[in-house]
Chains A and B, each alone.
Chain A
């Protein structure tokens, strides 16, 4: 274990001071900026904007499910386009981009004590390619035939066939192109995040002194760099199948009553490639949330995170294991059923490190000094929804239990709870937490509490009952739930209720957006460290931090990130850059 005494806590810097590119004009300062903090805001704003599109799409599909037959413009084609683009935006263009491009860019350099990312120019390019990917995706709404309606999993053969919206039009081509662009853009950013964490840390910032936020984002980025290439090749191959008539994923089949020209391809191969990316993707979204929520809980409970080293190893174990569980998405895909034994076992093993993280969050609260600030409320709500969604994962991961539940609303409820609601609650908590650093002002407290309660309770009321529709057997991805013998009248009423809750929760997000904009000018002044936190981003000489982050001298780190309520210390927190013999970390007894 890393055990550094204060004397050798100041190893030589691994990277010397670098001359940053300083902007010369408004354009290079705010638009084509190479400052990771500006890029972070650009990423976040773009992700939020496209996220609003996804929110509206979810309303439209809930209109159809809650009040079937009422809205003529929601045809089956339109419905499938809505669910496809909603899912794709939420998973890729919102969650991945916001956690890694947004929080990663803002927090990594500040938290590790670097002036900027190590490759600022490539970092800037990353954002602009991401923006292009988003624009290509949006353009599919205006293309002939509209966006693809193949479902976010884009399973061939139907994804590129005429029975699916956009299959033989522009939709699928634009979708695949957009994904390819996204992956290119992400790779540029991702390499930056990894190298910055490994090479750009300030003096004294050992790996075992990194805040868990950085550990979460770092591990997620490494995973994304390994997982996205699988999606990349799958997209390229499907584009070739669609445009050049190759047969990577297309077997001999009948389309529109005609024998197709395809022969010998494997639809299952696509599913393996997709989920080799798709399962790690769940943790690419979850691990940054795990990291961030650890820091929120620790800071607002004024207590060190419980079992820091176990938390780090749990993140790494989850990251590694998540590469050997992908086929649990395919138990009923028709793959060799004996795979089920292996993948059910690996999947349930992953529950152990995940459960440890949950225990450690809760044990951090034990004997804490819990301030029920808005970030803390969101963190608590995250724990509830994450436990709920994690436990239903034990149903779906246990191969034979998955058989009746697969492809039902149970799955929809599960993954929304665990990778939709839970990480988004962390995002909200994180925004309330770091907004004062980004803007220098606090978000409005009253609006914030309203936003919290409606979002948390509303989301729970949407997704908790939905599991029971799935248990009843109601399939997912049904544009019409008419003539369904298994559905009772009351099940349709439940659907209407879920839809109404969805509109209410969506409305609360408008209040949040208003708060974000209004508080930039009218929020209470925050000062440099309003939460009295220990990590380096709160120790910057200016708030918001200037280009270069730390003024003339980079901070020197003497301790871990969790010296809260150290016995004998005057204040209930000791920043990482304060020398002294109190606290210092998990590997030594407190003085």
Chain B
């Protein structure tokens, strides 16, 4: 009979845990509260089904447990009951699917006023590229990646010259402005994930993937890589800062363009230490990793 008690306790305990435990999603910072609403609908429907079926089972075990002289009923089928259960289940599934697909259609429809920005991943850091004055990102190719051009921006494309490059540093975004995030990788699969924004997407070498969102509050948010990308995967953190318009423009003014970064160095000499981590120094990164 302990099992009856335990089945009931599992339902009660799970429901209490759901409502009382301190572990819940992070406060949202993007327009994807639609997704949170869909999750809440799903929690309600699935929670009710879970509680109903397990409690019914507990009742059956209690009521029909073996006692001397008992005999089970003989009822191979019940077409009506089976049909009803199938209809009710199909209705429940539809109630989940319809809002889900509705929100998904928003997710895949990028608004026309979204600014395209680019995130470039490599083992194990994040870099970013913003369109320059012409409002267009220049083309890029993994084959153009060199130590001096770690993001592989096409050197000959005029649209790329004024692109703003943020190499292995923080990205700033303006609050309330929708962005279309173009995702690119130059080595393995990665995934650009900020829990507070809810959205995420893999990046694939050789392809450009995307998603869009609108940051809805200012703050500093941690970027995580969500697709296993080798042994440095858990340390591949980045930072996205959502600014007011004023702060954003101030930050933007300090950034350098592709043309500036790739201009021949005036003061170059043999004694000078390497100017900047190119992002390609994997051996050094592995050492840091070992040291941790």
Binding site for B on A (CB under 8 A): 75-77, 80, 149-151, 155, 157-158, 161-165, 167, 251-257, 259, 265-268, 301-304, 306-310, 332-334, 337-338, 340-341, 344-345, 348-349, 351-352, 355-356, 358-360, 362-363, 365-372, 377, 380, 383-384, 387-388, 391-392, 394-395, 398-401, 403-404, 406-408, 457, 460, 464-465, 468-469, 471-473, 475, 477-486, 488, 490-491, 494, 562, 564-567, 572, 583, 585-586, 590
Contacts and interface: CB of A to CB of B under 8 A. Distances in A.
B38 A333 contact: no
11 contacts: A158-B229, A161-B230, A164-B230, A252-B206, A254-B187, A307-B77, A368-B72, A372-B66, A384-B54, A472-B26, A485-B221
A478 B234 contact: yes
Contacts of A340: 104, 108
Interface in B1-58: 1, 3, 6-7, 10, 14, 17, 21-26, 32, 34-35, 38-39, 42, 45-46, 49-50, 53-54, 56-57
Contact of A403 (B198, B209, B235, B281): B198
A167 B70 CA distance: 62
B233 interface: yes
Given A163-B123, A352-B89, A491-B23, 5 more contacts: A150-B228, A259-B145, A380-B61, A383-B57, A480-B235
A175 to B, nearest CB: 15
A507 B97 CA distance: 41
B33 to A, nearest CB: 11
B232 interface: yes
B103 interface: yes
The list of the 7 closest CB pairs from A to B, nearest first, reads A473-B195, A251-B206, A163-B230, A257-B280, A334-B209, A158-B188, A303-B72
A383 B56 CA distance: 12
A348 B72 contact: no
Contacts of B233: 76, 80, 477-479
A307, A377, A403, A408 — most chain B CB neighbours (10 Å): A403
B66 A475 contact: no
Contacts of A161: 187-188, 230
Contacts of A334: 183, 201-204, 207, 209
A383 B58 CA distance: 11
Nearest to A488: B22
Contacts of A338: 108
A76 B234 contact: yes
A257 to B, nearest CB: 4
Contact of A259 (B90, B143, B196, B204): B143
Given A359-B85, A362-B53, A400 B73 contact: no
How would you classify the secondary structure of chain B's contact residues: helix, strand, loop or mixed? Answer: mixed
B74 A566 contact: yes
A387, A491, A566 — most chain B CB neighbours (10 Å): A387
A155 B96 CA distance: 31
Contacts of A251: 142, 204-207
Interface residues of B, number: 109
Contacts of B49: 387, 391
A391 B46 contact: yes
B77 A306 contact: yes
B61 A370 contact: yes
B74 A583 contact: yes
B200 interface: yes
B241 interface: no
A253 B35 contact: no
B60 A365 contact: yes
B64 interface: yes
Contacts of B113: none
B235 A404 contact: no
B73 A565 contact: yes
Contacts of A407: 191, 193, 200, 226-227
Nearest to A350: B93
A392 B82 CA distance: 24
A564 to B, nearest CB: 6
B292 to A, nearest CB: 8
B247 to A, nearest CB: 20
Contacts of B165: none
A383 B17 CA distance: 20
A406 B206 contact: no
B260 interface: no
B34, B56, B89, B103 — most chain A CB neighbours (10 Å): B89
B24 A472 contact: yes
B164 interface: no
B78 interface: yes
B75 A267 contact: no
A398 B38 contact: yes
